[in-house]
Amino acid sequence: MNYVGRFAPSPTGPLHAGSLVAALASWLDARAHGGQWLVRIEDVDTPRCIPGVDQIIVAQLQDCGLHADAAPLWQSQRSARYQQALERLIAQGLAYPCRCSRRDIEREMIRRGQPLARNTELIYPGTCRATSTQHDDSAETASAWRLRTDLNPALIHWHDRRLGPQQQDVADAVGDFVLKRADGCFSYQLAVVVDDAAQGISDVVRGQDLADNTARQILLQRALGLATPRYLHTPLLLGANGEKLSKQNGAQAIDTADPLAALNSAAAVLGLPAQSSGVPEALQAWVVAWASLQSTA
Ligand code: GLU
């Protein structure tokens, strides 16, 4: 089997104890399969990225002994590839321009008697879909672009290597989702699908908070004629308040002065035994432990 894995951090803050779990798990899975491990800097959402953080993350991974098999890929340099994919979807009649603001979407949902849940993603009601066949050039430059979820079956079944069988009806759960925003940034969903395919990723190993995106990504892979990788979503490290530890809730950067301590706490989340030797020896022991956990799973 030709195993290629990846770790795909967004440079919105340095690696913290939670993101190190995903980095370590994806590295261990690649090594346990005798495969390759790649790093991709997901800097498509440019307004949220912090200059210089990409290099900090690359250095943190090095300090933790998580060496990649190739130079990192920066998504900010790949807009032409995302645009090509978008144009392919437009040509297939699967993408359309949308000028709705969040307020417009809320208004439309109220008009349709649909409940508005606070602080959640709005399910796009398809307002601009009807006019999508007559768009003009000015619409293309100033609008967001969305994927039609009503043309092909949007009920996606997939298997997660840890969570087991999963399913989501993308049309019901999220509706026509954004491929490119009105500010010109490509969406995470489009960029991740294009790059996982371009890099030949066979196995996506990432945090469980991202599991909910998988059905959208599979739908896009099918629309673009791309292979679907295997998926494994890792347990999350929870903060004192029981919520996922994240940059948004103030997680501290890992202390690379003591990489073994940082790695030990990430390993504990993955159910791996603590190690007291040096970093390379600890990583080697975890590769063996990880391989045996996977074979009994
Ligand atoms: N860039 C995403 C993040 O940092 C991860 C994307 C992925 O692994 O699919 O949350």
- Grade residue 142 by pLDDT with cuts at 50, 70 and 90: low
Q: What is the mean pLDDT of the chain?
A: 91
Which ligand 1 atom is nearest residue 213's CA? 9
Ligand 1 near 210 CB (within 6 A): yes
Long-range contacts of 109-115 (CB under 8 A, 24+ apart): none
More confident residue, 178 or 246: 178
- Grade residue 133 by pLDDT with cuts at 50, 70 and 90: low
Going from the Cα of 10 to the center of ligand 1, the distance in angstroms, rounded, reads 6
- Mean pLDDT throughout 108-123? 74
Phi, psi for 175 (deg, rounded to 5): 75, -165
- Grade residue 92 by pLDDT with cuts at 50, 70 and 90: very high
Instruction: Check residue 170 and give its pLDDT.
Output: 96
- Grade residue 1 by pLDDT with cuts at 50, 70 and 90: low
- Give residue-wise pLDDT tens across range 145-192: 999 999 878 899 999 999 999 999 999 999 999 999 999 999 999 999
**pLDDT reading at 297 higher than 90:** no
Of 192, 193, 199, 216, the residue with max ligand 1 atoms within 8 A of its CB, to mutate for a pocket test, comes to 192
Nearest to 126 by CA among 147, 154, 152, 143: 147
CA 2-294-161 angle, 5° bins? 75
- Grade residue 117 by pLDDT with cuts at 50, 70 and 90: low
Instruction: Check residue 118 and give its pLDDT.
Output: 63
Ligand 1 near 123 CB (within 6 A): no
- Grade residue 132 by pLDDT with cuts at 50, 70 and 90: low
Ligand 1 near 206 CB (within 6 A): yes
